[in-house]
């Protein structure tokens, strides 16, 4: 196995958390790399001999100007999810091979979503809040008639990698699962329905569609109003999928609930009602890989580097034509 000349391109903070001693050891065994050299700006970087870029969050765009100074660059291995922020059209025109650890990053998002679905239907957060503030028992069945997960309906919006994994994780539970995706042509073993039908039928609506011009405010005022009384909206995808003003208005009535990990803007302003509404669980974009979960992305990307070094095709390769329908 040859050791291709590799350059690490990501933010210094990400490199510190991602490239742990075990990752460093494997990286240097697979490639010819200086593990202490981390580039977060290609200006002035010596790319003349670089064959592979090992990237993650914080990698600057690989533009035509960058490629002009990197005549031997032939692969980008991304130890994170989306490559849209740094893999430019110039890379595809050059024929550069691209791999992504999106499959590894999908796992914690799907796990977060599963937990949110089960807690939402069981009304865990609401009951915990009431119990903590009143410090006494209540007739929970009277407060939340029919609460629980048995035979409830979960709607998955987007048969993306994460959406499909959520569907898989839900299989052991006695739930009815619906999926809405205009590009879905295969049978996922659950009912494939139009989005408006999914929204109207579901006790939980979970968003897993990419952020594209045509998906902006996919959950608009009309669709939010069409959600069932007591239903929960979960967004671990992108804030732009939801009309946030319309969501706040609907949530303020107390009619529906929400579990929100992504917003627009990324951090809501201090006065946002999302921070104080009792029917909202707001988290700061933590569903994806963090902490020990970064090791899963590192493992996948190192496996891809090893395949490249052996002359094998990527197992998790990214194709340019798929980016128009992905995150």
pLDDT tens digits, one per residue of 209-243: 999 999 999 999 999 999 999 999 999 999 999 99
Single out the residue of 192, 190, 301, 282 nearest to residue 239, CA to CA: 282
Percent of the chain with pLDDT over 70: 99
pLDDT reading at 16 higher than 70? yes
* Identified catalytic residue from 238, 257, 307, 316: 238
26 is catalytic: no
Neighbours of 260 (CB within 10 A): 23
CA 158 from centre of chain:
12
* Identified catalytic residue from 25, 65, 168, 266: 266
In this prediction, residues 92-113 reach a mean pLDDT of 97
Q: Tokens 């600057």 correspond to what residue?
A: 60
266 is catalytic: yes
Is residue 80 within 8 Å of 316, Cβ to Cβ? no
Is residue 218 within 8 Å of 157, Cβ to Cβ? yes
Q: Tokens 């929100």 correspond to what residue?
A: 260
Single out the residue of 248, 247, 280, 282 nearest to residue 266, CA to CA: 282
pLDDT reading at 159 higher than 90? yes
Q: Going by DSSP bridges, is the β-strand pair 191-192/176-180 parallel, antiparallel, or unpaired?
A: parallel
Single out the residue of 290, 45, 78 nearest to residue 34, CA to CA: 45
The predicted model scores a pTM of: 0.94
250 is catalytic: no
Is residue 113 within 8 Å of 236, Cβ to Cβ? yes
Neighbours of 142 (CB within 10 A): 7
| pLDDT (0 to 100) of residue 322 | 79
Burial 160-193 (b: 16+ CB within 10 A, else e): bbbbbbbbebbeebebebbbbbeeeeeebebeeb
DSSP state of 322: G
* Identified catalytic residue from 217, 285, 296, 325: 285
């Amino acid at each position: 196995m040859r050791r291709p000349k590799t350059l690490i391109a990501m933010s210094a903070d990400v490199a510190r958390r991602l490239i742990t001693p075990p990752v460093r050891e494997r990286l240097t065994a697979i490639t010819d790399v200086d593990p202490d050299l981390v580039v977060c700006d290609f200006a002035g970087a010596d790319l003349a001999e670089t064959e592979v870029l090992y990237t993650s969050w914080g990698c600057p765009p690989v533009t035509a100007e960058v490629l002009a100074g990197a005549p031997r660059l032939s692969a980008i291995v991304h130890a994170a999810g989306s490559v849209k922020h740094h893999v430019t059209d110039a890379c595809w025109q050059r024929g550069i091979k691209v791999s992504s650890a999106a499959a590894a990053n999908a796992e914690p998002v799907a796990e977060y979503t599963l937990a949110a679905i089960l807690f939402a239907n069981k009304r865990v957060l609401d009951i915990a809040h009431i119990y903590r503030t009143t410090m006494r028992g209540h007739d929970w069945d009277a407060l939340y008639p029919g609460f629980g997960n048995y035979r409830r309906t979960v709607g998955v919006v987007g048969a993306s990698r994460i959406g499909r994994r959520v569907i898989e994780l839900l299989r052991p539970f006695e739930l009815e699962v619906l999926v809405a995706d205009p590009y879905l042509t295969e049978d996922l073993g659950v009912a494939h329905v139009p989005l408006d039908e999914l929204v109207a039928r579901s006790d939980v609506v979970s968003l897993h569609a990419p952020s594209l011009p045509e998906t902006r405010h996919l959950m608009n005022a009309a669709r939010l109003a069409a959600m069932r009384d007591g239903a929960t909206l979960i967004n671990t995808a992108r804030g732009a999928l939801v009309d946030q003003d319309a969501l706040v208005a609907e949530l303020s009535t107390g009619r529906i609930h929400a579990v929100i990990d992504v917003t627009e803007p990324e951090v809501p302003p201090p006065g946002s009602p999302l921070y104080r509404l009792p029917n909202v669980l707001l988290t700061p974009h933590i569903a994806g890989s963090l902490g020990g979960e970064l090791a899963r992305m590192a493992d996948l990307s190192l496996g891809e580097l090893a395949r490249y070094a052996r002359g094998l095709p990527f197992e998790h390769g990214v194709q340019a034509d798929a980016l128009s329908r992905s995150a």
